[in-house]
Amino acid sequence: MLGHPIEPLPHARETVEKLASAYRLVLITKGDLFDQERKLAQSGLGDLFDAVEIVSDKSPATYTRIFGRHGDGAEKSMMVGNSLKSDVVPAIEAGSWGIHVPHELTWVLEHVEPPVTAPRFRQIADLSELPRLIENIGKAG
């Protein structure tokens, strides 16, 4: 597995490039430090992020701490990810927006019910929809 090539999600590069010019982008990833650093380096996206946080646990407290360190707190932050359990739900519980980008290869242990009644939950088909979603949230907010 360590030698398996890294393939960013569809539309990842152009979306991150577009958002990087207008927003502070922090990559939050969970797992082994060296493995996550290797994957980020192989993705070719590392230089587009303002910061990278590799954590052992993605909990509401983790998101609160990171959103406070790298921005204006959870209320003014957004977590975008393919795991409802690790990315979206705890970020919403911390007070941020949680955007789910479903992916067919999400680990079975990461499956939970979508928090469809949470006012800060959204789901998009792929990352190309993210800039417009952020724009619409900004207009409504």
Domains, the chain, in order of start with CATH, read: 12-140 (3.40.50.1000)
Query: Would you say residue 21 has pLDDT above 90?
Result: yes
- Does pLDDT of 54 surpass 80? yes
Separation between Cα atoms, residue 77 and residue 2, nearest integer Å: 32
Q: Give the span between the Cα atoms of 130 and 122, in whole angstroms.
A: 10
Name the E strands within the chain.
26-30, 51-55, 78-81, 97-100, 121-123
pTM, two decimal places: 0.90
Residue predicted with more confidence, 50 or 105: 50
